[in-house]
Amino acid sequence: MAKLFLLRHLKSRWNEENRFSGWTDVPISEDGRKDAAKRAKKIFETRIDEIFTSSLFRNIDTAVRVLKVGKQKYPIFISRDGGKNQRWGDYFKGPKNYTPVYTTWRLNERHYGSLEGLNKKEMIAKYGEEKVHLWRRSYKVSPPGGGESMKTVSRRMIPFYKKYIEKDLKKGKNILIIGSHNPLRVLVKYLERISDKDIVNVEIDYGSLLEYDINKSGLPKKKFFDKI
């Protein structure tokens, strides 16, 4: 039975400043860096065969930091966005002391449209708590200015998960996904068959870790949800 770990990236500077990050690249905060050791210790109790993450720096930086602290094989970053969709192993003939880290924009955080970079508390004061909560947590409601709903994120993310990640899980590979909040909520919704209505109540804090056992048919069994 394979293991699937979901890790929300470590706290970023804009998380500390309570801003909508979306697709904006922001660095991990000092407090976030300190949490890398705790996360690595738990994750690497298990052999990790592959890591998948988004193309956003805060997710890639989290991958590097947990791998470094965990003293695992060094990461080799391979884009899964284009070309002939080859796996690194299809053509890499060098040393084997590396961990493949596959990156893709399809695992990016939702785009927050005109809210990107703005302070969440200030937007609540301007538009009201209920409306801002719907923009942030509902499944079908999109943020203003061309932002993405969770449903939109699901359309780009779940096909990628089925094509690459689920396929390898069925082969018995242990996989770590490092992502932002809403893509991970989309995946939890898919894995746990959560309704469109109930997903609004699902929260995954910075640095939180979920573990699932995945059988040969790709069906999940939730093991734990560990918060920093």
SS (H, E, C) 23-37: CCCCCECHHHHHCHH
Among candidate residues 50, 109, 166, 211, the one labeled active-site is 109
Does the annotation count 9 as an active-site position? yes
Residue with the two structure tokens 């500077």: 13
Give me the amino acid identity at 227: K
Does the annotation count 109 as an active-site position? yes
| Residue 34, CA distances (Å) to 16, 180, 224 in order | 14, 18, 22
113/144 Cα distance (integer angstroms): 6
215/172 Cα distance (integer angstroms): 8
Q: How far apart are the first and last CA of the chain?
A: 26
Among candidate residues 9, 111, 166, 181, the one labeled active-site is 9
Q: Mind telling me the catalytic residues?
A: 9, 109
